Structure 1
Amino acid sequence: MTTRPRKALRAGGLAAVLLAAGTLAGCVFDAAAPPPAVTPTGAFDADYSEPVPRVPAPLRGTLVEPGSLQNPSLAAKIDNHEDARPQIGLERADLVFEELVEGGLTRYVAVWQSDVPELIGPVRSIRPMDPDIISPLGGIVAYSGGQEQFVDLMLRAPVYNAVHGEADTEETFYRIDGYDSPHDVVVKASELVSEHADLAPPAQQFAYSADVLSSTAAVDGEPTATLSLVFSDSRFPSWQWDEASVSFLRSQEGAPDLGSTGAQLSATNVVSLLVDEVYDYDEEVPRAVLVASGEGWASTGGKTVHLRWSKDDAASPIRLVDDAGATIRLAPGSTWIELVPRETRSVTVTAPVPAPVPGGDPAPEEPGDAGDLGDPVG
């Protein structure tokens, strides 16, 4: 039998073998030695706890810690006369309802709960539709009186009435310098709320999405540059979409509507509802019929979607659904509810102007495009 000679180990391989052998020879293994200690990782930290789920603020939809907003809401009748502007604290309201009153003017029912200012105003007298607006909220309503029949309606609502001139509000209401009477009555809002901390917080009034992009209008609506409303010849507010602030900016009678900080008033959501106006209490004072149903529009995230609204009774919130019957979801943030008289039928949605085509003429709009809708819709 022929035996093949072994190949000689290369110098490098031989050196590695010798080094390994030498290393093993120098090691002494102690079978009785304890294993090395193991340091726990951060995953086993005894201080670790699961994050607490957050809940929507009832009137704003923003996420807050459970139990952090236990104070009642404060609704106030806010003046919108030219001599009452800029209103104090209006930019911090969670909800603002705009309603037609006598003389073609409008007033607000503004509501604070998640962020109550130290001072709000100017406040004015109550109107016959205000109990239907405020009753679902509970809490407190602040106003400066009114016709006896309207005050009686408000006193029968399930809210605490804080009325200017009453004995229990002497320290809460006062007349402020810089405004002419009767547009000078203001309320110490945070003090009033703290005095009635035993009242329950409000129930959630609208459904909310997680963010602006997932709101119903942003998902299903038509692009909107401007929303124009007509209450009367004297009051025709408008809202312009502002991409930078992700909100609609408010104007009145063609001029920017400024708040007490000097900044233009804005809203995350603008809900425009067509309502019937009747004169069943006073031939000069209109009443928006709210225990009813009708059509409207929700504007959020630079888009607008058509909706149907309904309110079952005075204590029920206003329900908003789309044309398919699905609940409208607003975006977390402030909401203005415009109670536009059906008689004017004037809610005009204007789409953005198409950007010009580089190097050519602007692209023409096709008939039926969601551009400027022109005439009032509804």
Structure 2
Amino acid sequence: MSRMAGMGGMGMGRKGARTRRARRGATAGALLAAVVTGTLLAGCTTTGGDNDDERGQGNDRRDDRTSAPPAGSVLAVKIDNVSAARPQTGLDAADIVYAEQVEGGLSRLMAVYATRFPEVVGPVRSARESDLELLRQFDEPTLAFSGAQSKLLPLIGGAPLHAKTPEDAGAAYFRGDEKPAPHNLYLHPGKLLGSPPGADALTTGFRYGPAPAGGTPEDSRTVRYPAARFTFTWSDDSRRWQVSMDGRPTVTTDDVRVAPATVVVQHVTVRASQFRDFLGNNTPYTETVGSGRAEVLRDGKVFDADWERRAATDGTRFTTTDGEPMNFAEGQVWVVYAADRS
């Protein structure tokens, strides 16, 4: 099935997912047993200003979401994005990359894989509360992460997803020797899920097809966080937006320039969450349910757009300013969540 058919947003894949969710009901999950191992505890004191507490406090109660993920489960991986973590591995193979603001004004990535798995992905880092709302659009996704703030673990344990830390799936993770801890934890996706589920699992609401009329020629667009920035530069040769982060080209460990076909700058509410890191810094919460404005970059142009996501179990619908569906270009999509200043 083509990606267009599998990712049209309102197709049979979403209807089947909702039916399965309805059958499961609202049963609360047990607490996630994510007591991080001694190897991970060495990574709790971070560098580069990224001060998140990855120590889990769990127990022996687990539900079926901590067992083997089902066939058809997308893989979402939390990827470290401070300077000490770069270059990353496997980022170019993701179908979607979400960028969000974290403590200290820094950024973190969530890479979503459905159509192909790279051999290795990483560095893997910790989860945030916002991730649970973002991931509800998928049917029981698998979330690979290194741990989480201890008070967040019950929420992760009760979420309709398969949480996979090194404690849950140690054979799929390893520590590299080229970066210092905690920026050296990597994942073998194939050891976690076997094979990718395919494009039908990407129930994002995104539409793919020809560009709408209009648009404004755009060579480069920069999105700034308080302590991080993303720049997307159009390449006529590759017909892609080449990514730079904090002023440096984003190139993987395999020497591949990361270059999505579509970039979405989505203006959202970024507010304080109920959690803080171990230094007392508040963790930002990025609201992805609601509506607002966006800019969509494709084909060397920028298109003003509107976005709407009515419920957490829905994908996000993008439309042009005249209400027509906003099609994305075929290929990788980056969604950068920018705090709405309007």
Q: Indicate yes or no: 2:229 matched with 1:236.
A: yes
- CA offset at residue 55 of structure 1? 5.6
C-alpha separation between the residues in 1 aligned to 2:261 and 2:155?
32
Q: Please identify the structure whose Cα radius of gyration is greater.
A: 1
- Gaps spanning 5+ residues in structure 1: where? 1-52, 62-69, 344-377
Q: Which amino acid aligns with 1:126?
A: A
Alignment pair present for 1:122 and 2:95? no
Q: Distance in 2 between matches of 1:87 and 1:313?
A: 32
Q: Is the 1:60–1:333 Cα contact (8 Å) retained in structure 2?
A: no
Contact 1:221 1:303 in 2 (8 A): yes
Give the alignment partner of residue 264 of structure 1, picking from 254, 257, 261. Answer: 257
Secondary structure of the corresponding residue to residue 314 of structure 1? coil
Deviations 1:35-90 (A, max 9, x none): xxxxxxxxxxxxxxxxxx756374699xxxxxxxx743110100001111111100
Between 1:318-327 and 1:265-274, the stretch displaced more is 318-327
- Cα deviation for residue 118 of structure 1 reads 1.6
Match of 1:142, as an amino acid? A
Confirm or deny: 8 A CA contact 1:136 1:314 kept in the other structure.
yes
> Which residue is 2:153 aligned to?
151
Please tell me the root mean square deviation across aligned C-alpha atoms, in Å. 2.2
TM-score using structure 2 length: 0.75
Evaluate the alpha carbon distance shift between residue 55 and residue 223 of structure 1 in structure 2; reply closer, same or farther with a 3 A threshold. Answer: closer
- 2:296/2:304 contact within 8 Å kept: yes
Q: 1:215 aligns with which of 211, 217, 223?
A: 211
Could you say what secondary structure the match of 1:339 adopts?
A: strand
Contact 1:59–1:94 (CA under 8 A) maintained in structure 2: no
Work out which structure has the larger RCO, using CA pairs closer than 8 Å and 6 or more positions apart in sequence.
Answer: 2
Any unmatched runs of 5+ in structure 2? 10-70, 277-281
Residues in 1 aligned to 2:82 and 2:251: alpha-carbon distance in whole angstroms:
13
SS of match in other structure, 1:267: coil
Q: 2 CA distance for matches of 1:55 and 1:307?
A: 22
Identity %: 26
**One-letter amino acid of the counterpart of residue 301, structure 2:** K
TM-score by length of 1: 0.68
The residue aligned with 2:114 is 113
Per the alignment, residue 67 of structure 1 pairs with none
SS at match of 2:134: helix
| Counterpart position of 2:272 | 279
* Structure 2 SS opposite 1:83: helix
What corresponds to 2:178 in structure 1?
178
In structure 2, what is the Cα distance between the partners aligned to 1:229 and 1:79? 18
For residues 261-289 of structure 1, give each alpha carbon's deviation from its aligned partner in whole angstroms, at most 9, with x where no partner exists.
21321110000011111113135110011
Task: Tell me the equivalent position of 2:305.
Answer: 307
The separation in 1 between residues aligned to 2:128 and 2:5, in whole angstroms, is 28
Aligned residues: 273
